[in-house]
Homo-oligomer: A and B are copies of this chain.
């Protein structure tokens, strides 16, 4: 493979000479889109070199193998856990050993919640042990549990209409799954809304596109002034069954026991590594994923995949001897699942430099076969991103969608920085999301190769263009 690598480096040198002319031109006037288009077209060979290395060359399956080793070794990595901190230390070492630059940890205080022992047993109309997962930040029940009759509703509206029936009961939400961002409101707000009408606890139908009796956990939020009640997710199957039972007039009684507990904030870190820019080192293209996960499964998909293709992007660029004009910065966020805690800290610390952020990227929707890139930014910036994505024609992944986003990059996007995220099969993603099923079994090395190629080409080319992405 060495031969091919030398060849690629040769191509890159030629390209540098080419863009040298453009730089000169740029110094005197803002360039037309046609000029930018021509500039991007010159990256065709670099894009091919990245694709060859990632998809067909010696780097193929590397992100998958690296990820498997980490998540098999440390398992799930919930905020506040020892395994998360172990993963951060391992990654710190990995990134150094990989020869990346400016590898360091940025301290963050993060929430520490543990579910403890938990169980839910239907006592009436028949004995049935239910699969549950307490929701992040939920309080526990008394040790003897909460035993109460169930009120099943399919929406917050129905809960309002039937508010008088809710007092002293366990509210079960059997909301249909429409899409994640809508349906997740039941997980996030379900306990508060149930508590407002006097419920003792709430059980939420898992927010999932598909189920094999799998509970899907996630964060929930209490509200000041509203009593805190214990809350957990149940399976789609049990929510639907209780809905049927209730519609037949059956009385349903559940005993819920949750040992969940919130502990004092813990010490953690965002993990950072760079390929420092050759010309505008203070300017940044940020690529990222989060290293924390829920406490079930392996956090291989959410968001091991995103974190590891982000690392892979820098590895590929380094391996090819490439150095973009501005700095390519990898951030592996901590405590994303608790609401972007690590990312918020990073934003506070670095926002003074916001004018130097060309693009913020996060992959946190899976690293299956990519459908393309989601992008948020001005129409001018979008046109440039579309040109960059056309470089991925050799692997037929060129589409640019709306609504680039990610919990960890939204702080920057809302402040006007262009943002991009990787899009793939969301039905598949939300089949495993936050469940025991988020393991290496759902990951595919070939798909990760393609995702890494997209990630590397986009981040490298945008970091190397003569100009930052325009904000208007």
Contact = CB atoms under 8 A, between A and B. Distances in A.
Interface string A227-270: 00000000011001100110010000000000000000000000
Given A211-B212, A213-B297, A248-B69, A126 B437 contact: no
A213 B437 CA distance: 5
A436 interface: yes
Interface in A49-66: none
A209 to B, nearest CB: 11
Given A210-B212, A213-B437, A241-B440, 7 more contacts: A69-B248, A72-B241, A73-B125, A212-B212, A212-B432, A213-B297, A241-B298
A431 interface: yes
Interface in A421-464: 431-432, 435-437, 439-441
Interface residues on A, range: 20 to 34
Nearest to A131: B436
Interface of A: 68-69, 72-75, 125-126, 128, 131, 210-214, 236-237, 240-241, 244-245, 248, 297-298, 431-432, 435-437, 439-441
Q: Give the one of A240, A297, A439 with max B CB within 10 A.
A: A439
Contact of A237 (B75, B240, B441): B441
A240 B437 contact: no
25 contacts: A69-B248, A72-B244, A72-B245, A72-B248, A73-B125, A73-B126, A74-B126, A210-B212, A211-B212, A212-B214, A212-B431, A212-B432, A212-B436, A213-B435, A213-B436, A213-B437, A237-B436, A237-B439, A237-B440, A240-B439, A240-B440, A241-B439, A241-B440, A241-B441, A244-B440
